[in-house]
Structure 1
Amino acid sequence: MAPRVLISDKLSKTAVQIFKDRGLDVDYQPDLGKDKEKLLAIIGEYDGLAIRSNTKVTEKVIAAAKNLRVIGRAGIGVDNVDIPAATAKGIIVMNTPFGNSITTAEHAIAMMFALARQLPEADASTRAGKWEKNRFMGVEITGKTLGVIGCGNIGSIVADRAIGLKMRVVAYDPFLSDERAIDLGVEKVELDQLFRRADFITLHTPLTDKTRGIVDAAAIATMKDGVRIINCARGGLVVEADLVEALKSGKVAGAGIDVFEVEPATENPLFALPNVVCTPHLGASTTEAQENVALQVAEQMADYLMKGAVVNALNMPSISAEEAPRLTPFVKLAELLGSFAGQLTETGLKAIRLEYEGEVAEMNVRALTAAALTGVLKPLLQTVNMVSAPAMARERGVTVEEVRREQRGAYENYIRLTVITDRQERSVAGTVFADAKPRIIQIKGINMEAELGPHMLYITNQDKPGFIGRFASLLGQEGINIATFNLGRKAAGEDAIALVEVDEPISDSVIERVAALEGVVQAKRLTF
C-alpha cells in the first residue's frame, strides 16, 4: 500500500503532482489546517503531513498521528510544529530553509523604499483628493548607510541589493568572518557601532534567546535621530512598545514591519501611527517563492517516504540505515561538543577544526562534522540542521578543517573540536565509552571527565583554596541542587575549570553572583 500524504494548507498544485508522480497517495485539503478538530480526527490515517503556517501541529495532534512518519513545512519557520513531541514519537520534521530567501530580501528592500518616500501615506492622501505635495518630503537612499543585522542567506542578498543602490552597508553577525564580509562588500561591525551609524536598519536573524528584543528602548537610544527600522524576519526581535514610543517622539522616523509579536495581528498600537508601513507577514509571499518551497517540500517528503532519504530534517541527522547504530552516539558527541563551544563563543567565528582519532576517523565524518557545525551555530540560528549547517557556515566564510589520524593516546576514539575566533582558539574534546554515552575528556587543554546534562554551569577560575566551598555555599543559599561536579586544572595554583550540572535552570542573578566570587574568571550558563 502506497504511503498517504495529507496537505492541510494551501500549497502549489505542482506539489500534489510531485507526490502522485512518485507513487504516493495524496489528499489535498488546503483549508483543513484551520479546523483543529477535523485534523485531529483524520491525522491518524496519514504517513506524511505537508503544511505551511496555518496548520498547528501540537502535541495533541502528534499524539493522534498514529502512522505519521514525516512533517514537511514549506518554508523555513517551524514555530507551528511541536518538534520535541515529534522527535519523541519518531516523526521527522523537515523544512525548506532556502526556498524563499530572494522574496524575503526583496520585501525588505521594498519596505525601505516605502519608508524613504512615505508611499502608503502619500497614496492614501492622493486617493482622498488632498494633493499634499509639500507634506510628503522623502529622503534619498543613495549614499545612506544600511545596517544589516544577520548576514546569512537573506541578509547577504539584502546587502547585495543595497550596494547596487549605492548604499554603504554595515553588517553585524557573530558568524560573519572578515573574508566573507570583504566578498560581500560590507563592513563588519559590532552591534553598538551598527546602531550608531545606520540610517536604515534591517533585521534578518532568527528569534532566539540572544536575539529576542535586540531592538529595544536602550538600543534605540543609541541610534541616529531619524533612523528607519525594517523587520521582515521574526516578531519579537523588536520590542513593539519601545518602537511605538520612539516613533511618536520622532527618534525613529519610520518603521516597516512585516512580522509581529502576536500573529495574526488584527490589533496593534503600530497600526495607528502614520510613519509605519505594516504588512501581514508577506516576506515569503510571491508566486515564485511559494512554488519553490512547495516543490522542495514535496520532493523531500517523497524521497523519505519512498526511499528513506533524509534532507533538511530539523530533528534527525542524514545517516544511512546501515551505519546508524554505530555512528549515532558519535553524532550526538559531535553536536554536544559543537554546542559546548558555540555557547561559549561570543566574538566573530573564523574557523572550526575537527580532529578525529582512532576508529571514529574511519566513520562517516561528513555527518559528524555537520553535527558539530549544527551544535556550534544553533545558539544563534535555531533552525539550523545537519543538512543546512555546512552551507550556513560557508555563507558566513567560516573555514572548516577535518583531520583524521590513527589512535595515539589512551582513548580508542575521540573527537576534538577547536573554534578559532578573532581573539582566541578554544578546544574541547570528547569520546564515547561502551555505554554509548558521550563524555567530555578535555577543555582548553585541561583534562577532566564529565557527562553533559540539561542545565550546566561552566566556570574558569584560579586554583586557590576556598573556591569550591564559596561556590557550593552560594548554590546552597540559592536552593540549587548540584547533580554532578567535575574539576580540572593545568597545575597546582594555575588555571582551573569547573563543570557543574544542576537540577534546574540557573537565573541571570545567580550567574552574576557566581562571576563575582573571589577567583572566578568566567561563569557561563550552558544548556544541552
Structure 2
Amino acid sequence: MAKVWIADKMSSRAIEVFKSRGVEVDYKPGLSDEEKLAIAGDYDAIAVRSSTTLKGALLDAAKRVKVIGRAGIGVDNVDVQGCSRRGIVVMNTPFGNTITTAELAVSHIVAAARMIPQASASTRAGKWEKSRFMGMELTGKKAGVIGAGNIGAIVCDRLKGLHMSVFVYDPFISDERASAMGVTKVETVAELAETVDILTIHVPLLDVTRGLINADIIARMKKGSILVNCARGGIVDEDALYDACKSGHLRAAALDVFENEPARENKLFELDNVSFTPHIGASTDEAQENVAVQVAEQMSDYLLSGTVSNAVNVPSLSEEEQRLLSPYMLLAERMGSFMGQTMKPGYSKVNVCFEGKAAGINRKPLINAMLQGLLSQSMEEVNAVNAGMLAKDRGIELMESACENSEHFATLIRLEVEGDEGQRCVSGTLFDEARPRFVSFDTCEVEIAPAGNLIYFQNEDKPGVIASISSVLAEAGINIGDFRLGRRENTGSAVALIQVDSSPGENILTKMSELQHVQAVRFAELGSI
C-alpha cells in the first residue's frame, strides 16, 4: 500500500480522499527539521503547502518518494529540478484558489474606491467623519487588468458585473480571445495605465514582470486612479508607489503582496490612502478545501495508476521512448521557440501536422514541447507538461493532424501559428533520424540547423539586399557562420536565415529592418545542439 505524509496543515478532506482511495496517510504537520529528516524516507509521497521546504537534505532523505503534491500554485518551496533528476513528479493545484484570489482583488478595488478600511478605523475610534470619506463610484469607470490567465479572466468577469469597461494587457491572448471575454485588448502596459481609472495586476513574478509597474507607468496613470496588487510582490516599485500615493497622484492603492515578506515594516504603512492584507489571496475555507481535495486526488491517481495531472516537471519516459523521441523533442521545442521569438504574441490557433515516420510516434510529448518553446518567452512556469493547459487557458485553439506519407521527407513536422500577426509556418525534419533541421519557413524552402543565433528576414527579391545586410553585420563586428536563402516562386519575395556567432543588439536589427527592400527582420536564440 502506498504511504503519504501530509507535512503541512491541510483540510481534513485530504485525509478522507487518500483513505477512500486505499492510500495510507499520516497527518504530521509542524514537525521540527530533525523530526522531518527522521521520517522522510518512510513515504512514497509527500503533500505540502508552503511551510515545509523540500530541498537539500530533506529531499535527499526522501529516498522512496515518487510524487510531491503542493496544495496551491507556487512551488518555490520544492526543488523541482532536483525532483526531476530523481524521477519525482511534482504536482500543484492551479485551479483550487483562483476564484478566491480573484474575489480578494475585487474586494480591494471596492474597498479602496469607498475608503472602507479608513472609514472603519475612524468609526471604531469614535469619530463620525462622513465628509472625510468621499468615495468613487465604480459603475461606468474603466478598469485595467494586467494578465488574463486563470485569475485575471475571473477578475475581468466580476468587474464587468460591476458595469465597468474592462481593458486588458496580456501579450498571450489574441484579439479573438479578448473579444470572446468581452474586454478591450491594449498593446502596452503604458497604454493601459493612461486609459483606466483602476489598475489591477494578475501576472507571475518573472524577470520580465519584475518592476513592471515602475515610476514611469505610475506617472502615466490618471490622477486620482487606484492601483491594486494581489499577484506577487516585486511587480510594483514600492518606492514609486509611495511617492505617488503620498503626493495624491494616486487616489488609493491596495496590496496583498509585498517585495519583502512577511512585511512587518514598510514605509507604505505610513500612508492613510493605502490598505493592506497579509498575502491572503488563497485564504478562504473553500479554497483550502479545494486545493486539499485536488492534491489528494491527483497524488492518489499517480500512486495507484500512474496518471499525471498538473505536473510542473517533465514526466518520465521509458528508456526506449526517450531514445526514440529525444531528437524529435529537440526539433519540436526549437520549432516552437523559433516561432515564439520571431512572431508577435497574441496567438489564437496552433496547427501541428506530422508526416511520414513522425505520424507513427507518440506525438503528445512533441506537441507539448512545441507549445513549451512557443510560450516560454514570458509565461509562468511553462514546461513540457503544463504547456498545453496554459495554451488552453489563453484561448489558443490546438489542432493536430497526421499523414503516413510525406512528399519530400521520410519524416516531417509542420507548425502553423495564427494570431494577431496573421499566419506563420515552420517545418522541420530529422537527417539520419538524429539530426534536427528546419527545412521551410512560410512555404519557402530554406534548410538550416535549428541552433545558435538566427536572424530571419524577408525581403523583396532585388539585387543588393544580401550585400547591404552583410555590410551592417560586418560594420558591427558580427561574424556570419551560415547564410541560407530561399525564394517564393512567382511572388517577387525571398527569405533568408543568417546564423551569426554573436547576438546582435536591437539597434543592429533595427538598422537592418530599415534597409531598402527589407520587409521584416526577426531574431531568435536557440542554443546549441
TM (norm. structure 1) is 0.87
Q: Contact (CA 8 Å) 2:344, 2:421: kept in 1 or not?
A: no
Q: Contact (CA 8 Å) 2:437, 2:447: kept in 1 or not?
A: no
1:456-489 deviations in Å (ceiling 9; x for gaps): 454548752475686478567xxxxx9x944322
Q: Which of 254, 257, 260 does residue 259 from structure 1 map onto?
A: 257
Counterpart residue number, 2:418: 420
Counterpart residue number, 2:146: 149
Q: Which of 507, 511, 527 does residue 505 from structure 2 map onto?
A: 511
**Pairwise mapping of residues 131-142 of structure 1 onto structure 2 (< 5 A)?**
131-142=128-139
Query: Could you tell me how far 1:452 is from its partner in structure 2?
Result: 3.6
Matched residues in 1 for 2:437 and 2:403: separation? Answer: 20
1:336-378 deviations in Å (ceiling 9; x for gaps): 3223322333242222221211122233434433432333223
Secondary structure (helix, strand or coil) at the match of 1:464 reads helix
1:234-278 deviations in Å (ceiling 9; x for gaps): 222212222111111222211111122222222222222211111
1:28 is matched by which residue type in structure 2?
A: Y
> Once superposed, what is the RMSD of the aligned Cα atoms?
3.0
C-alpha change, 1:495 and 1:413, in structure 2 (3 Å) is closer
Matched residues in 2 for 1:511 and 1:227: separation? Answer: 37
State the percentage of identical aligned residues.
47
Q: Contact (CA 8 Å) 2:210, 2:234: kept in 1 or not?
A: yes
Matched residues in 2 for 1:20 and 1:339: separation? Answer: 43
1:178-229 deviations in Å (ceiling 9; x for gaps): 3322322212222333211111111112222322222111111221111111
Matched residues in 2 for 1:58 and 1:527: separation? Answer: 30
Q: Which of 37, 40, 44 does residue 41 from structure 2 map onto?
A: 44
Residue 89 (1) aligns with residue 64 (2): no
Residue 343 (1) aligns with residue 335 (2): no
Q: Contact (CA 8 Å) 2:353, 2:413: kept in 1 or not?
A: yes
Residue 79 (1) aligns with residue 76 (2): yes
Query: Could you tell me how far 1:134 is from its partner in structure 2?
Result: 1.5
Secondary structure (helix, strand or coil) at the match of 1:54 reads coil
Counterpart residue number, 2:51: 54
Counterpart residue number, 2:462: none
Q: Contact (CA 8 Å) 1:439, 1:449: kept in 2 or not?
A: yes
Query: Could you tell me how far 1:106 is from its partner in structure 2?
Result: 0.6
1:10 is matched by which residue type in structure 2?
A: K
Matched residues in 1 for 2:59 and 2:476: separation? Answer: 42
Matched residues in 2 for 1:437 and 1:11: separation? Answer: 49
**Pairwise mapping of residues 365-380 of structure 1 onto structure 2 (< 5 A)?**
365-380=363-378
**Pairwise mapping of residues 26-425 of structure 1 onto structure 2 (< 5 A)?**
26-32=25-31, 35-36=32-33, 38-191=35-188, 192-317=190-315, 326-327=324-325, 329-385=327-383, 388-425=386-423
Matched residues in 1 for 2:72 and 2:122: separation? Answer: 36
Query: Could you tell me how far 1:289 is from its partner in structure 2?
Result: 1.0
Query: Could you tell me how far 1:332 is from its partner in structure 2?
Result: 4.4
Counterpart residue number, 1:25: 24
Matched residues in 1 for 2:193 and 2:420: separation? Answer: 21
Matched residues in 2 for 1:446 and 1:45: separation? Answer: 57
2:229 is matched by which residue type in structure 1?
A: N
Matched residues in 1 for 2:116 and 2:380: separation? Answer: 35
1:39-84 deviations in Å (ceiling 9; x for gaps): 4454333322211122223345434433322221111112222322
2:350 is matched by which residue type in structure 1?
A: I
Secondary structure (helix, strand or coil) at the match of 1:134 reads helix
Counterpart residue number, 1:464: 466
Q: Contact (CA 8 Å) 1:97, 1:388: kept in 2 or not?
A: no
Q: Contact (CA 8 Å) 2:312, 2:386: kept in 1 or not?
A: no
Query: Could you tell me how far 1:295 is from its partner in structure 2?
Result: 1.0
Q: Contact (CA 8 Å) 1:414, 1:430: kept in 2 or not?
A: yes
1:296-327 deviations in Å (ceiling 9; x for gaps): 11111121122111111111259799966544
Counterpart residue number, 1:489: 485
Deviates further, 100-109 or 435-444: 435-444
Matched residues in 2 for 1:349 and 1:399: separation? Answer: 9
Matched residues in 2 for 1:437 and 1:50: separation? Answer: 41
Matched residues in 2 for 1:93 and 1:436: separation? Answer: 30
C-alpha change, 1:132 and 1:92, in structure 2 (3 Å) is same
1:397 is matched by which residue type in structure 2?
A: G
Q: Contact (CA 8 Å) 2:256, 2:276: kept in 1 or not?
A: yes
C-alpha change, 1:303 and 1:498, in structure 2 (3 Å) is same
C-alpha change, 1:344 and 1:494, in structure 2 (3 Å) is closer
Deviates further, 152-161 or 39-48: 39-48
C-alpha change, 1:348 and 1:516, in structure 2 (3 Å) is closer
C-alpha change, 1:487 and 1:88, in structure 2 (3 Å) is farther
Counterpart residue number, 1:479: none
Counterpart residue number, 1:3: 2
- Aligned pair count reads 511
C-alpha change, 1:387 and 1:304, in structure 2 (3 Å) is same
Matched residues in 2 for 1:290 and 1:45: separation? Answer: 26
C-alpha change, 1:22 and 1:216, in structure 2 (3 Å) is same
Q: Contact (CA 8 Å) 2:177, 2:348: kept in 1 or not?
A: no
2:292 is matched by which residue type in structure 1?
A: A
Query: Could you tell me how far 1:385 is from its partner in structure 2?
Result: 4.8
1:194 is matched by which residue type in structure 2?
A: L
Secondary structure (helix, strand or coil) at the match of 2:132 reads coil
C-alpha change, 1:328 and 1:61, in structure 2 (3 Å) is farther
1:378-430 deviations in Å (ceiling 9; x for gaps): 32322345565444434433232223223324432221212222223222222
Matched residues in 2 for 1:88 and 1:323: separation? Answer: 17
Secondary structure (helix, strand or coil) at the match of 2:203 reads coil
Counterpart residue number, 1:498: 498
